[in-house]
Homo-oligomer: A and B are copies of this chain.
Amino acid sequence: MTTSAPDPFAVWLPLARAHKTILTAVETALKQAGLPGLDWYDLLWELECAGDTGLRPYELQEKLLLPQYGVSRLADRLARAGYLTRQDCSGDGRGQVLLLTPEGARIRAQMWEVYAAAMEPAISSHLSTGEARRLAELLGKLLRPAPADKI
């Protein structure tokens, strides 16, 4: 053991800053296009991936890292906008299944155009392909279950 322990702030500070910068750029682009925000996109995308079987709110909670009431109210807004429907859950009287509507799929597709377009200048233009790959890989390491050994 010779190398010093990594300074977490040397990672965290630029990570937080990059996140805020990119997020702001995307949200601004969406707003300017008269479209909903990224939180709506994320939920719609998960529903789209889930297909006809839909998703339970608690599943979205895990996938989106949102608190329970966050999913509940986000789903409210999306339902009021007509982008999803709540359906009683056969087999669990407490629960429900959220299903994407065609309008939901349509708006998600529209949002995707703007989203992807905003990513280019925010990310792609700053990195070579190799750098992007390496960055993605290193960020992935932060997401793995805690190592238990190191430090």
Taking a contact as CB atoms under 8 Å apart, the answer to whether B129 and A6 are in contact is yes
Q: Contacts A6-B131, A65-B21 hold; do A12 and B138 have CB atoms under 8 A apart?
A: no
Of B8, B119, B124, which is within 8 A of A122 by CB? Answer: B8
Does A121 have its Cβ within 8 Å of any Cβ on chain B? Answer: yes
Does A94 have its Cβ within 8 Å of any Cβ on chain B? Answer: no
Q: Contacts A65-B24, A142-B21 hold; do A133 and B14 have CB atoms under 8 A apart?
A: no
Per the bound structure, the CA–CA distance linking A5 and B9 in Å amounts to: 30
Taking a contact as CB atoms under 8 Å apart, the answer to whether A139 and B14 are in contact is yes
Taking a contact as CB atoms under 8 Å apart, the answer to whether B142 and A11 are in contact is no
Chain B residues lying within 8 Å of A135, measured Cβ to Cβ, are 11, 135, 138-139
Name A's B-contacting residues (CB within 8 A): 3-12, 14-24, 65, 116, 119-136, 138-144, 146-147, 150-151
What 11 new A-B contacts, CB under 8 Å, besides A7-B124, A17-B143, A18-B139? A3-B129, A8-B124, A9-B119, A10-B136, A14-B139, A17-B65, A124-B150, A125-B146, A125-B151, A135-B135, A135-B138
